Amino acid sequence: MTSPPTTTDAGTARSASGATRALLRNEARLLRREPATVIWAVVLPLVAATVLANVPATRSPNADLGGWSFSQVYLPTLIILTASLLSVQALPALLAKYREDGILKRLRTTPASPTNLLVALFVLMGGVSAAVALLMTLIPVVSGVPFRGNGLAFGLVVVLTLVSFTALGLLFAAVSPNSRFATGIGTVAFFVLAFFAGLWIPRSLFPATLATVADWTPSGAASRAMLDSMQGDWPAVQSVFVLVLYAAVCAVVATRMFRWE
């Protein structure tokens, strides 16, 4: 898509990364001004993780959960909750609104490109999700429940989950004719993803058929892979395959269909 920078483009390439940084700062500032998003995606998951890690009944292993504690089984769920709120619900609604308001088109008239804005939003939403995920992983450790598992695998799965969800959000932004549609499709997707991630029923309590279906959804595959790595294993090939598949298919379709105006 982009031609390799030549000597005459060097100055422009430099200012393009500057533009992305400026847009990132600006979008971060605007996100802070959306209290609903901040509370649901950042504050509540962190509070929930803190409570679960400190209440004796939820921090100790539970026979009904196959020896897991509630604090443990909800960690992947809460990480997925934040990621889906930011990347699958907020991101497409915002992009569709920016397109509707002519902001993406307006950026095309400047040395910055709307691509810089897309990158800034991916980094912002992914970065906030990653930071919240890290904090939620560390909260039980601080509360005296050490993380025993394959930390590297867990970290990689979280990153792969964020990439996959961002691609899904971009796809929603690409297919939405307007911001209302994007908000609607994002909200429905959020509930579906949260369900398969075990928000209402912990994953370990899913009946067998439901678990099979869940394993083919991005959030089901993500939570399964995170739980596997929390047990010290590497995630199942299927989980990784599902996440990569969603990421690739959504990204390819989205980039083909995305319109600036």
| Site residues (vs other proteins, CB under 8 A) | 9, 11-12, 15, 18-19, 22-23, 26, 29-30, 33-34, 98, 101-103, 105-106, 108-112
Say if residues 128 and 42 touch (Cβ distance below 8 Å).
yes
The radius of gyration of the chain's CA atoms, rounded to the nearest angstrom, is: 19
Select 19 or 49, whichever has its Cβ closest to other proteins. Answer: 19
198: number of Cβ within 10 Å:
23
- Which lies closer to other proteins via its Cβ, residue 35 or residue 146? 35
Residues 82, 42 contacting (CB under 8 angstroms):
yes
Q: Token pair for residue 188?
A: 């429905």
Report the nearest approach of other proteins to the CB of residue 106 (Å): 5
Decide whether 113 or 143 has the Cβ nearer to other proteins. Answer: 113
Least Cβ distance, residue 119 to other proteins (angstroms): 14
Nearest distance in Å: CB 31, other proteins = 10
According to DSSP, residue 1 is labeled -
Q: Shortest gap between Cβ of 181 and other proteins (angstroms)?
A: 18
Q: What is the DSSP-derived secondary structure letter of residue 205?
A: G
Give the nearer residue to other proteins in terms of CB position, either 117 or 214: 117
Nearer to other proteins, 173 or 199 (CB): 173
Q: What are the phi and psi torsion angles at 102 (to 5°)?
A: 80, 10
Strands annotated E in 5-136 = none
User: For 55, left (φ over 0), alpha (ψ -120 to 50), or beta?
Assistant: beta
Instruction: Give the nearest distance from C-beta 252 to other proteins in angstroms.
Output: 23
Neighbours of 190 (CB within 10 A): 19
Cβ-based nearer residue to other proteins, 98 or 172: 98
Q: Identify the DSSP state of 235.
A: P
Least separation, in Å, of the C-beta of 23 and other proteins? 7
CA distances from 224 to 104, 138, 182 (A): 37, 20, 28
